[in-house]
Amino acid sequence: NELHSPALSLFVPCPNATHNIGSNRDKWVPRPSATSQRQLAMFTFLGKLVASIALRHKSPLVLDFPSLIWKQLLNRPVDIADLAGVDVPLANTLKLMRTADAAAFSPDVFEEMTFTVMSSDGREVELKPGGRDIPVTFETRLEWAQLVEQYRLNEYKREVDCMRQGSGSAFPLGALSLASWSEFELLVSGTPSIDIDTLKRHTQYGGYEESDGVVKSFWRVLEKLKPDEQSLFVRFASGRSRLPASASDWGNDFEINKMRTPRGQSPDAFLPLAHTCFFSIDLPNYSSDAVLRERLLYAVNHCVSIDADYNARNIQSYDDTL
- Tell me how far apart the alpha carbons of residues 95 and 158 are, in angstroms, rounded to a whole number: 27
- In the chain, where do the E strands start and end? 11-13, 28-30, 116-118, 124-126, 203-206, 254-258, 273-275, 280-283
Strand, coil or helix: 258: strand
- Residue 106's Cβ-count burial label (10 Å; 0-12, 13-18, 19+) is exposed
Amino acid at 205: Y
* Residue 277 appears among annotated catalytic residues: yes
DSSP string, 134-151: SB--TTTHHHHHHHHHHH
CA dihedral in degrees (20, 112, 149, 34; nearest 10)? -70
Q: Which of 14, 162, 277, 303 is catalytic?
A: 277
- Tell me the CA end-to-end span of the chain in Å, nearest whole number: 42
Catalytic machinery residues: 277
